[in-house]
Amino acid sequence: MKCPPLFSIGLFLIIFFIPSDNMIAQSSNTNKTMEAPKAAKKPKELVTHGHKRIDQYFWLNERENPEVIKYLEDENKYTEAMLSGTKELQDQLIKEMKGRIKEQDQSVPYYYNGYTYYTRFIEGGEYPIYCRQKGRSGGAEEILLDCNEMAKGHSYFSSTSMEVSPNNQFGMFAVDTIGRRKYTLMFKNLTTGEILPDRIQDVSGNAEWANDNKTVFYDVKDPVTLREYKIMRHVIGTSIESDQAVFEEKDETFSCYIGKTKSHKYLVVYTSSTVTTENLILEADNPSGSFRVFHPRTRNHEYSIDHLNGSFYIMTNDQAKNFRLMTCHEKNTSISEWKEIIKHRDDVFLEGLELFNGYYVLSERAEGLPRIRIIREDGNEHYLDFGEAAYDAYLGANPEADTKVIRYGFNSLVTPVSTFDYHIETKEKKLLKQQEVVGGYDGTRYQSERINVKVRDGVMVPVSIVYRKDLFKKDGSNPMLQYAYGSYGISMEATFSSARLSLLDRGFVYAIAHIRGGQELGRHWYEDGKLLKKKNTFYDFIDCSTYLADQKYTSYDKLFAMGGSAGGLLMGSVINMAPEKYKGVVAAVPFVDVITTMLDASIPLTTSEYDEWGNPEDKDYYNYILSYSPYDNVEPKVYPNLFVTTGLHDSQVQYWEPAKWVAKLREIKKGDELLLLYTNMDAGHGGASGRFRMLKELAMEYAFMIDLAGK
């Protein structure tokens, strides 16, 4: 329900455009010409713990009801009419953003198991083409999947990449043409090019090969809740009906998926809830065998495993809130045999691990920023140096264990996405590719900052900021877009976006508030922004807004806010608490009907998230969630201008949450500020598919803010 919305960091470049005064005047006039649609009231009484709520718009959850579809379509027409004065601006924004994309492009290749793999795009192509060449370089290109061809005839299309069998003869991939994240798993003979008749529906899209080149393990989704609850075994060429379940997760608060260790020796079933995990293992050479528990689940114990050279490596939070690294021999995985190799640290959060022969690489986080740490078997270690105040760094494709060269990626608010190879012995960095911004991009024209804001309870919250130097005056005159997420322990990185240049080049300042509920400053940062401490997330965002205005980065009449999914919940709560601080707000696929959703176990993801929000069947959680749930706290007051988006087929946040919220706001709110709802009738949680199609919705959101800012 509430994972972050998908968006592209992109391959986008700069064109300058300043809308005319006539355009702004036209838009302002248009905004008052059409009457807003109103949803019919059909009261439904909801009673919990003796407390009665009347939901006037509960009926909007009837997805197949023609009256619901008509209402959503009417809202779309209203939104288009209200933004019609910005049509020229939207077209210009699309032209700018598309113009920055290198249409004919290719990823940095990586080598694995005798082949070099890469992805490329063709001019005008919406979707990737997955390819390989035999050997390390120079072989004939073999197209594994041409997603442009596969997408023909579909208004929405999403495909996983090709997973190739160990003998390189077969590939499997999964396709979703609805946007509901219910995939169909398919197989291809890579020698003949034939698509095999085996088709497995209603899966997650995640699957793994056993080492016999014919057995596949895949995740199955519950048809109602969409929870990944079962792992099935399929043998290529046999009927789907004969597939066998090798694991079923009966606890509705858990989900499961299949994986494979770096050594390719073990298949792993990873099953987890918000605060608890359990792993099961099976030798990949023995696909007909039974999975066995690596370490049994214990409430509040999270761990993950990998394997190489006869040993398992375990990242665990057992007696280690920020996680520590341990190891054990593969023949005895009892926790009493785990040996610590990286201690717990209060000021460093352990996020990831990549194993190699003779060394391993840790992904860590300290002072809110990612770090890459290389540790050799002889005990020598060092960190990579990135040289910027706010950035994102991460390990890239490293499928081979026997190498002295690691692949990593780097970007920042001013540096485009860059891919490097790093030699661990010579410490040489080799830039393989930097995202090209077509038309030319000069990063020296932009300034990034990293500041800390003291919020109401004395905690210091990091904020990453970027602006164009020659357009910024620290006198409150610049419009600002403040973004945040703040849930699930997901850290918001200071990443590059060429699309964002369309805001920066019009004088906008862009700020990311690294609020509690994420994990930027370690596990405590997450725990202090969830359950009965959830309001810290909202207070942090509001207090950062106050500070940024007080310090003249912007002013309240020029401050915009944006968040999506659980970040949309943030937006809804913030404008209930402090509407006067924002000129406009974009709430993308927002999770705003929290109490009703968390009381309905049939809705996708609800049961697995009791440890994030709380189970409202418990009266204390009910009262606390009810106190901040945006839909339940709409009041008759003036709200900021509001642009809300959703997708009819959204599997994470059901479309009716934002639809109900907008309907209630229309009924109750005061003032003439814009209130717009846009529903993508062909898509789900991630919005439109395709690298160019997605620009339409982004241009609408940007035009909404640019016009209100008078830029």
Which active-site residues does the annotation give? 565, 650, 685
φ, ψ dihedrals at 46, nearest 5°: -120, 125
Quick check: 413 and 494 in contact, CB under 8 A?
yes
Cα 260 from Cα 281, distance rounded (Å): 9
For 194, counting Cβ atoms within 10 Å of its Cβ (0-12 exposed, 13-18 middle, 19+ buried), the class is exposed
Give the CA count within 13 Å in the CB-facing half-sphere of 288.
3
Token reading at 354: 């990549």
Name the one residue in this structure whose structure tokens are 């109602």: 224
Buried b (16+ CB within 10 A) or exposed e, 490-514: bbbbbbbbbbbbbbbbbbbbbbbbb
Cα 92 from Cα 107, distance rounded (Å): 28
Task: Say how many C-beta atoms besides its own lie within 10 A of residue 665's C-beta.
Answer: 20
In degrees, to the nearest 5, what angle opens at C-alpha 628 toward C-alphas 623 and 634?
Answer: 115
Name the one residue in this structure whose structure tokens are 């190879």: 421
How far is CA 122 from each of CA 108, 193, 409, rounded to the nearest angstrom? 15, 21, 23
Task: Give the pairing of strands 509-513 and 584-588.
Answer: unpaired
The H-or-E segment that residue 567 falls in is helix 566-577
In degrees, to the nearest 5, what angle opens at C-alpha 511 toward C-alphas 100 and 581?
Answer: 125
φ, ψ dihedrals at 507, nearest 5°: 95, 5
Residues in Cβ contact with 458 at an 8 Å cutoff, skipping those fewer than 6 apart: none
Task: Say how many C-beta atoms besides its own lie within 10 A of residue 186's C-beta.
Answer: 20
Closest Cα partner for 525 from 495, 494, 490? 490
Closest Cα partner for 295 from 317, 264, 262, 310? 317
* Chain length of the chain: 711
Quick check: 692 and 127 in contact, CB under 8 A?
no
Cα 590 from Cα 644, distance rounded (Å): 8
Cα 12 from Cα 440, distance rounded (Å): 10
Specify the amino acid at residue 114: G
Helix 535-550, helix 566-577: angle, nearest 10: 60
First to last CA, the chain: 35
Cα dihedral value 570, 576, 582, 588, nearest 10:
40
